[in-house]
Amino acid sequence: WLAAFTWRAVRDGGWRWPAWFAIVVALVGTVNATALVCVLVGPIVVLAVELSRERDRARVLTAGLRIAALSIAVSLWWMIALAIESRYGLDVLNFTESLETVTLASSAPEVVRGLGYWFFYGRDADGPYLEAARSYLATWVLPVSFVPVLLAALAVLVVRWRHRTLFVALLVTGTVIAVGAHPYDDPSPYGSLFKTVLEQVGPARALRSITRVTPVIVLGTAVLLGVGVTAAFASSRRLGRVVAAAAVLAVVLSNLPL
């Protein structure tokens, strides 16, 4: 929703869509600031892509400023409370998951298939943190879970679509950010910088669970997959459309093994 409202704010101008954006932020914010920051990657990518396309860049910047102003306005109450808590309250970040723990599972293959969040893979003396997670780590699910991504990649190569760049950018940007410092002991140059910032810059430590950016990846994959299905429908006869729809539906449902 945030990505869609950002796009409409740029296209239509005015305060209507920035206001809708701020309403969503007011409804879903406060529970976890890191999660909100991570999903804001989507709108930021939308603004960046639109900025590269629009001749009237002031239009894009104005939309971005309106969104930022209204979103901050509806969030001040919890931002101020969080600042007070971080200064005078318990240093929670020292008693929760570390960056090393978070990056154990954030490999590119895992985040591309929509997973990679550390808690999903955790175990203790009583077994997995999440019993349901074991189904998604089963041998037969692993190869099947990459099929939607591969079909989305095929759609990128085959289908010509004006907004293709935007959703490819969402998928790629989300993946790069989600991988972060993985592998922790031997990260890439980018991962090393990422690791240094998150471990040594005080406020940045709150962003250690950066794999919460995964919804941005899923959004890019889902839309590209939908575009591929739409193109298949347009170029097929009735029987071909039924087969294509059934095949894609089967792939999606097979990724829900519970």
- CB-based contact 176:190 (threshold 8 Å): yes
Instruction: Specify the higher pLDDT residue, 123 or 107.
Output: 107
User: What are the tokens at 232?
Assistant: 């298949």
The angle, 0 to 180 degrees and rounded to 10, between the axes of the packed helices 147-158 and 164-179 is: 140
Q: Does pLDDT of 235 surpass 80?
A: no
258 — pLDDT class (breaks 50, 70, 90) = low
Cα(32)–Cα(44) distance, integer angstroms:
19
User: What are the tokens at 229?
Assistant: 């299905």
Q: From start to end of the chain, where are the E strands?
A: 123-124, 127-128
Q: Which of 46-50, 81-85, 109-113, 212-216 has the lowest mean pLDDT?
A: 81-85
Residue 142's pLDDT is: 81
Q: Does pLDDT of 34 surpass 70?
A: yes
Residue 125's pLDDT is: 83
Strands 123-124 and 127-128, how do they pair?
A: antiparallel
Residue 134's pLDDT is: 78
Distances (CA, A) of 176 to 22, 52, 179, 201: 27, 20, 5, 20
Q: Does pLDDT of 53 surpass 70?
A: yes
pLDDT digits (tens, 9 = 90+) for 148-199: 899 899 989 888 888 889 999 999 999 999 998 888 888 888 889 988 888 8
Q: For the chain, how big is the Rg over CA atoms in Å?
A: 20
- CB-based contact 118:106 (threshold 8 Å): yes
202 phi and psi angles, rounded to 5 deg: -45, -65
Tell which phi-psi region holds residue 130, choosing left (phi > 0), alpha (psi between -120 and 50) or beta: beta
Cα(44)–Cα(67) distance, integer angstroms:
11
Query: What does the mean pLDDT of the chain come to?
Result: 86
3-state secondary structure 168-184: HHHHHHHHHHHHCCCCC
Overall average pLDDT of the 11-24 stretch: 95
Instruction: Specify the higher pLDDT residue, 62 or 248.
Output: 62
The angle, 0 to 180 degrees and rounded to 10, between the axes of the packed helices 238-254 and 147-158 is: 140
201 — pLDDT class (breaks 50, 70, 90) = confident
8 — pLDDT class (breaks 50, 70, 90) = very high
